[in-house]
Amino acid sequence: MPYISVTALSHPGLRREHNEDSLVVGPWTLCGTVTENPQTMAFPLGRPLVVAVADGIGGQPAGEVASSLVVRRLALFGPALDGEEAVRDALGMCNHAVYAAADRAPELSTMGTTVAGVVILEQELLVFNVGDSRVIEVGPAGDGTDDPAGARAATDDTLHQLSVDDSPALAQGRRTTSIVTQALGGAPTFSAIKPHVSTSPLTPGTRMLVCSDGLTDPVLDDEIDGILRAHDGGRAVFELWKAAMAAGGPDNVTIALVTVTG
């Protein structure tokens, strides 16, 4: 029987006092906690399964409240996310919920979060994001033999970003930016969002990386690609986390590796 395997990890990094990232995998949520040991879950292919990362906006109050609110809402909406419009509507409701919560408590004013994820359907993959968290399609893993340099055939698939970064144009010589041009919440008064939502065909062996920028900012694409070529499952996620820590661990890092099998 075809099934979906999801391996996930969330960690505050080396420079932040607490974790403002949150994660949803089907009905399961992980909010503001630490799991440097990857956790793996399996689900039958068929009903909609949502996997998403929300990254509370740093430098503003209660980012962890905003991110946890969003993933908990997505966990509730998940079984009904059967098409692009359903995903857009759900994200719009999440945005309203963040602003409503901020309005009720002064200490939550201007809290906000990014979100990026996938909904796995029986034959399709819905990809969505608001902000700069990412969804990346990755090629198949190797046979388990270490290949950190990614020395497998050059014709193999590599990283393919499916999400769309809501970020300003980078200044010359800059590879990353902490500025986002769109988020759920994050402003003093309500601001509507225009989520990025797309549909891709689903095939056996599909692997998707869903992550916060705590991975993709400090770790170069080539290194991420090499790790995912050499490893799968928990080993791949652990090696990605190690790479982020070796690069200084400047931010919270949350990683979910999604694999469709069978």
- Domain harbouring 92, CATH code: 3.60.40.10
| C-alpha span between 237 and 256 (Å, rounded) | 7
| C-alpha span between 135 and 46 (Å, rounded) | 21
Q: Do residues 115 and 184 lie in contact, with contact meaning Cβ atoms separated by under 8 Å?
A: yes
pLDDT, position 28: 96
pLDDT top residue among 150 and 39: 39
The answer to which of 33-37, 61-65, 152-156, 219-223 has the lowest mean pLDDT is: 152-156
Residues above pLDDT 70, as percent of the chain: 89
> What does the pLDDT look like over 100-109, one tens digit per residue?
999 999 999 9
Q: Can you tell me the mean pLDDT for 121-133?
A: 97
Say whether pLDDT at 176 is over 50: yes
- What does the DSSP 8-state code read for residue 103? H
Q: Can you tell me the mean pLDDT for 53-68?
A: 90
pLDDT, position 198: 98
| C-alpha span between 148 and 98 (Å, rounded) | 41
Q: Which residue from 235, 203, 178 is spatially nearest to 60, judged by alpha carbons? A: 178
Say whether pLDDT at 82 is over 90: yes
Predicted confidence band at 76 (pLDDT cuts at 50, 70, 90)? very high
pLDDT, position 97: 98
pLDDT, position 171: 61
The domain total for the chain is: 1
| C-alpha span between 148 and 92 (Å, rounded) | 40
Q: Can you tell me the mean pLDDT for 68-77?
A: 98
> What does the pLDDT look like over 5-49, one tens digit per residue?
999 999 999 988 889 999 999 999 999 777 779 999 999 999 999
Say whether pLDDT at 144 is over 80: no
pLDDT, position 36: 76
User: Which domain does 203 fall in, by range?
Assistant: 3-170+177-261
CA 202 to mean position of chain CA atoms: 18
Q: In what order do the strands lie in the sheet with 35-44?
A: 35-44, 3-11, 253-261, 207-211, 134-138, 160-161
Predicted confidence band at 154 (pLDDT cuts at 50, 70, 90)? very low
pLDDT, position 174: 61
pLDDT, position 153: 39
